[in-house]
Amino acid sequence: MKPRPRTTPSPTRRRTAAPSARRRMLLVVGVLSLASLGLVARAFDLQVVRKEFYQNQGDARFLREVPIAVSRGTIFDRNGEPLAVSTPVVSIWANPSEVLNSEDKLPALAKAIGMDTDALKQYLMQRSEREFVYLKRQMSPDAAQVVLDLAVPGVNGQREFRRFYPSGPVTSHVLGFTNIDDHGQEGLELAFDDWLAGKPGAKRVIRDRMGHVVEDVELVRAPQPGRDITLSIDRRIQFLAYNELKNTIEQSDADSGSMVILDVHTGEVLAMVNWPTYNPNALRGSNPSSRRNRAMTDVVEPGSTIKPFVMAAALSSGKYTPTGPLVDTGNGHFYYISHDIRDTHAYGMLSPTGIIAKSSNIGAAKVAMTLDTGLMYDTYRAFGFGNSTNSGFPGEASGYLKPGKSWGMLEKAILAYGYGLNVTPLQLANGYATIADSGVMHLPTFVKGSDNDAKQIVDPKIANELVQMMVAVTQPGGTGAPYAWIANYGVAGKSGTAHKATAGGYSKNNYSSAFAGIVPASNPRLAAVVIIDNPRKGSYYGALVSGPVFSKVVDGALRLLDVPPDNIGRWYVGGPLQGQNGLTSNKQPDVEPVPDAPIEEATP
């Protein structure tokens, strides 16, 4: 067998089969270079190209903009006594997901904030996708610190302010209240919310994953605390009015009541109270009815308290003076178009002053029927009836006065003794204040020292005559004597008793009882109105129910304000009424005077 010949591989074949170390090296270097280049490019993209985007993303996880709470402005009374102040509180908030991760601490947390453990757990689970939820709002700082000392992950505190009202229900209807976010909701808190609220600030802070502030970064917006405001309200007089009104309503078993006291020279509201009321420091449990400022929002038919304004038109017409001509009121019944206008007594012949003193419906109606309709309508409008007083109080009612062009003769007669129109207690008080200030009307205001518009709406001589005519009401034989009498001060006023309107007519047994007055009569300083709604126990006459409230409250107010007496040692101020038209002379009566006459029940 022949041996096979030996062959040697060619150089070309040897190069193709053998691995190339150089190529492998170049490949590795190339891959590493590309990877390095990618890392450099990525780093450039992160650090240069999209630096701001990623910085913001990081900040969003650790940098927060948080509000800086500001204190709401303090509300003071006219003497500098605080009526509404803001106190610091702490609201507890949490990140639900973080709190749920520490489930073992939920029982202690729930107890500290006054919740059931299961309810707290369910509350957090329902909001687990959020990063911020309130657990308890407006806790006292000490109580909040107890919660924070538990060191529950994700639980933090936020400083806020809560409103506190030192006078409680006494000033509640005037001041109103704020909500949990410290924004005014009713009353002057709402009217002056922009002034009182201020503007919260803001700052950027760094928080750790537990939500704790690690560092303050920058002030974004400086806080602007709310501005203080000084009201015209006198807290001392407010307390007097509140207590007397409350006692009278409870004793007479009435539904409600209001009282307003004005400074006649400025229009400033010195006191405004209502009953029922509520405590603005504990709103829970109060109802909307008790929160109404009835002196501003509720309207009544004024009854005989409107008669001085009829006489203002009568004196302005030139047909009448305080003493004449005499008006025949007959036997106490005046029939006109099948309508019986009645007095309680047969007063016979009465002067205009006597009509006011005796509160004669017949006399007022007959005077009105002789007046030009336009003059009577314009007089009512000039004194503010049918228009808002523009006091700026939220929800103030305008009342109602039918346009004069539609008045018939009977309608004029009925309007003369206080039916067919609606007024608020503030409107009525402002009308009397206008008479008191020699016919100058001021816009009512709740702010001390504010510049109010003033307008002369009736001749000063006529206004002063009206005051003296109303003095007769509190003299012996007048409907307000002795109930509205004030020792050593002359009182000019008018009582009123009106049946309340119901569906289909007027109620025979439900009344609105009022007294409106001016003091001191010789140099008026105050005008006040008291209205008691539907007294059920005892008398329902305005003089007997509301007159004593007026007397006691205004008596105290005069002394608190150091108003000098004008009637020392005399029971009443002498006026054009003395000794005429059946009224007694200068002595206190020894019998009960005739109260206001009940008004015809029929619908006007």
Question: What region, left, alpha or beta, does residue 400 occupy, with left being phi > 0 and alpha being psi -120 to 50 degrees?
Answer: beta
Q: Which domain holds residue 424?
A: 235-278+290-560
Last residue of a domain, one of 543, 560, 577: 560
Residue 300's pLDDT band, with cuts at 50, 70 and 90, is very high
Residues 487 and 523 in one domain: yes
Residues in a beta bridge with 205: 64, 216
Q: Inform me whether the pLDDT recorded for 579 exceeds 50.
A: no
Question: What region, left, alpha or beta, does residue 329 occupy, with left being phi > 0 and alpha being psi -120 to 50 degrees?
Answer: alpha
What is the Cα–Cα distance from 420 to 400, expressed in whole angstroms?
Answer: 8
User: Comparing 24-38, 107-121, 381-395, 467-481, which segment has the lowest mean pLDDT?
Assistant: 24-38
- Enumerate the H helices of 452-577 as residue ranges: 460-471, 542-545, 547-560
* pLDDT score for 582: 34
Burial class (CB in 10 A: 0-12, 13-18, 19+), 324: exposed
Residues 336 and 443 in one domain: yes
**pLDDT tens-digit readout, 164-222:** 999 999 999 999 999 988 899 999 999 999 999 988 877 776 665 555 565 666 677 78
Residue 584's pLDDT band, with cuts at 50, 70 and 90, is very low
Query: Is residue 542 assigned to a domain?
Result: yes
The CATH number given to whatever domain includes residue 397 is 3.40.710.10
Mean pLDDT of 283-293: 90
**pLDDT tens-digit readout, 69-84:** 788 999 999 999 999 9
Residues 224 and 259 in one domain: no
Residues 241 and 193 in one domain: no
- What total number of domains does the chain contain? 2
Judge whether 497 and 361 are in contact, CB under 8 Å. no
Q: How far does CA 597 lie from the centroid of its chain?
A: 35
User: Comparing 75-89, 124-138, 516-530, 542-556, which segment has the lowest mean pLDDT?
Assistant: 124-138
Residues 273 and 207 in one domain: no
What is the Cα–Cα distance from 113 to 143, expressed in whole angstroms?
Answer: 8
* Helix, strand, coil percentages, rounded to 5, for the chain: 35, 25, 40
Token couple for 27: 């490949």
Q: Inform me whether the pLDDT recorded for 30 exceeds 90.
A: no
**pLDDT tens-digit readout, 453-481:** 899 999 999 999 999 999 999 988 888 87
Which one has a higher pLDDT value, 475 or 381? 381
Mean pLDDT of 554-579: 73
CA dihedral sign of residues 170, 173, 175, 177: positive
Identify the three-state secondary structure at position 95.
coil
Query: Is residue 176 assigned to a domain?
Result: yes
Token couple for 466: 């009206």
Burial class (CB in 10 A: 0-12, 13-18, 19+), 149: exposed
* pLDDT score for 505: 86
What is the Cα–Cα distance from 327 to 352, expressed in whole angstroms?
Answer: 8
Residues in a beta bridge with 383: none
Residues with Cβ < 8 Å from 31, sequence gap 6 or more? Answer: none
Of 184, 199, 266, 272, the residue nearest 235 (C-alpha): 272
Q: Inform me whether the pLDDT recorded for 41 exceeds 90.
A: no
Mean pLDDT of 293-313: 97
Residue 360's pLDDT band, with cuts at 50, 70 and 90, is very high
* pLDDT score for 581: 35
Q: Inform me whether the pLDDT recorded for 531 exceeds 80.
A: yes
Residues 198 and 264 in one domain: no
* pLDDT score for 588: 32
What is the Cα–Cα distance from 602 to 12, expressed in whole angstroms?
Answer: 135
Active-site residue (options: 172, 256, 304, 316): 304
CA dihedral sign of residues 569, 570, 575, 578: negative
What is the Cα–Cα distance from 543 to 84, expressed in whole angstroms?
Answer: 36
Q: How far does CA 175 lie from the centroid of its chain?
A: 5
Mean pLDDT of 387-398: 94
Residues 184 and 313 in one domain: no
**Catalytic site residue 304?**
yes
Q: How far does CA 277 lie from the centroid of its chain?
A: 12
Residues 158 and 247 in one domain: no
Residues in a beta bridge with 499: 511
Residue 265's pLDDT band, with cuts at 50, 70 and 90, is very high
Instruction: Tell how many helices (H) and how many strands (E) occur in the chain.
Output: 21, 21
What is the Cα–Cα distance from 123 to 138, expressed in whole angstroms?
Answer: 19
Judge whether 546 and 498 are in contact, CB under 8 Å. no
Residues 152 and 257 in one domain: no
* pLDDT score for 68: 74
Residues 217 and 251 in one domain: no
The CATH number given to whatever domain includes residue 116 is 3.90.1310.10
* Length of the chain (residues): 604
Judge whether 563 and 466 are in contact, CB under 8 Å. no
